[in-house]
Amino acid sequence: MDTQLFKKAYSLIKNANSILIVTHENPDGDAVASVCLMAEIAKQVKKTYWLYCHNSLNYQNEFLPHLDEFKNYYDNFNFDLIVTLDCGSVERTKLEKEITKRRADQLVLEIDHHPRARAYANLEVRDSTAAATTEILYHFLKINKIKINKNLADCVLTGILTDTDNFLYPSTSPETINIASEMLAAGARLPQIMENTWRNKSIGSMKAWGKALTRLKINPKYNFGFTVLEAEDVPPEITEEELEGMAGFLSNLNGVNAIMLLREMPDGTIKGSLRATKPNINIARLAATLGGGGHAKAAGFSINGKLEKTENGWRIV
């Protein structure tokens, strides 16, 4: 870890008057927890801050600190510092125009564990080997000698658990396990985290999971598993949090090289989620050819179109 980089990042926060803290659309647990952690830091150093996410959240407010402060709008864009967390690309913030065309005196700090899509930040803190963005933020806390209270511990552990699917993904390292253990010792509430990130499924979402499992097929030529969810399979009352982890769960299929979940989204696009567990498979290369990206073992993409069932399977039209 680059100690000076983390110290520079903390200096940006302490020197700012107003801070926008933002993560990607349809945020997962790591994204939400990273924003909550940064909000806790901003509060400790008495900064004015604004938490932004393009989508509304559906987590219980008492689950993590500052959840009730999230907004999907902003009053104006006169922030001194913009902190983007777990975004992968600036496009995923849904604030691409505002960020890339910001004033020269508006600084951007990017902290992420995804491979870089394109540079846009004044200061970039990135480690694509980290299991979660909150794992990087753990080192930010330690290097800057910020005491890890129960709120911060909850945030770090939530990000790690959700982005490793409870330590099942290959991204889990001995260091990841050690950090999680330290967070438990610091007061992280494991039962409440599990209740909000794993045991949070409604009957509607369980039926959607069932649809995906029923349609699961294997392409024998490439030993590639795949399944689909049509728009009507996912009722509007089902939250993104309830569907989180579906692709990771499907990757438990024995013997396949990789799996792909295609899901019709309300905006007319198809979201593709790719997962692999074999050491010689880099699923991010496939995602990149489809305009997406991600990690070697967990990647995704989005394309325009609809799913259509045919005699031979499914196609995108």
pLDDT at residue 13 in the model: 98
Domain end marker among 172, 197, 222: 197
Position 241 scores a pLDDT of 64
Structural domain ending residue among the three candidates 154, 171, 197: 197
- Asked if 121 and 243 sit in the same domain, the reply is no
For residue 263, what are the domain limits?
203-316
56: pLDDT strictly greater than 70: yes
Asked if residue 189 and residue 45 are part of one domain, the reply reads: yes
Q: Do 148 and 226 reside in the same domain of the chain?
A: no
Specify whether 26 is located in the same domain as 166: yes
- Whether the Cβ atoms of residue 80 and residue 51 lie closer than 8 Å to each other: no
DSSP state of 110: E
CATH number at residue 300: 3.10.310.30
One-letter amino acid for residue 143 of the chain: I
Tell me what pLDDT residue 263 has.
94
Tokens of 167: 């330590």
Q: What is the CATH number of the domain that holds 103?
A: 3.90.1640.10
| One domain, residues 179 and 261 | no
Claim to verify: residue 83 and residue 163 sit in the same structural domain: yes
> 20 near 109, Cβ under 8 Å?
no
Question: What pLDDT was estimated at residue 34?
Answer: 98
pLDDT in tens, 209-218: 899 999 999 9
166 and 233 part of one domain: no
pLDDT: which is higher, 255 or 21: 21
Residues 208 and 173 in one domain: no
Q: Are residues 213 and 98 both part of a single domain?
A: no
Instruction: Identify whether residues 157 and 28 lie together within a single domain.
Output: yes
Q: Which two tokens stand for residue 183?
A: 């967070």
Note whether 193 and 236 are same-domain residues: no
Question: What does pTM read for this prediction?
Answer: 0.82
Percent of the chain with pLDDT over 90: 66
Rounded distance, CA 49 to CA 53, Å? 13
Q: 84 and 167, same structural domain?
A: yes
Choice among 4-8, 17-21, 186-190, 284-288 with the minimum mean pLDDT:
284-288
CB contact burial 288-297 (16+ within 10 A = b; e otherwise)? bebebbbbbb
pLDDT surpassing 80 at residue 147: yes
Q: What is the mean pLDDT of residues 20-24?
A: 97
Domain count within the chain: 2
197, 222, 255 — which closes off a domain? Answer: 197
List Cα–Cα distances, 96 to 23, 33, 89, 118, 131, in angstroms: 12, 22, 9, 12, 26
> Mean pLDDT, to the nearest integer, of 56-75?
87
CB 7 within 8 A of CB 121: no
pLDDT at 107 over 90: yes
| Confidence bin at 61 (pLDDT 50/70/90) | low
58 alpha carbon, distance to own chain's centre: 15
Of the segments 28-42, 56-70, 222-236, 292-306, which one has the largest average pLDDT value?
A: 28-42
